[in-house]
Amino acid sequence: MRIPGVITNVTTFGAFVDIGVHQDGLVHISQLANRFVKDPGQVVRVNQRVMVTVLDVELERNRISLSMKENVDRPERYGKKQEKPQKTK
């Protein structure tokens, strides 16, 4: 599910987004766009409204991982890694 947010800070490794909860989420540089991004400042700016997808929530570490990519395939959900099915012989 895509949710709205506002960019609060842009760093060399990504951008922090206020999504309306206590802790801002991080969009890592690799999740800013469907293309390669060398400088996050060329893709986003502070106070810009964006749509993000929640990739992971780590309650113990107070971290929220977000993505701005379109059609994101989420391998993890809410801090619990999904197990890959075991191959049988």
What's the pTM value of the predicted model, to 2 decimals? Answer: 0.77
In DSSP notation, the chain reads -EEEEEEEEEETTEEEEE-SSSS-EEEEGGGS-SS--S-GGGT--TT-EEEEEEEEEETTTTEEEEE--SS---SEETTEEPPPPPP--
Out of 3.40.50.300, 3.30.960.10, 3.40.50.40, 2.40.50.140, select the CATH number for domain 2-74.
2.40.50.140
**pLDDT tens, residue by residue, 39-80:** 999 999 999 999 999 999 999 999 999 999 987 665 544 444
Q: Could you tell me the residue ranges of all domains in the chain?
A: 2-74
CA distances for 12 relative to 21, 44, 47, 88, angstroms: 24, 12, 17, 44
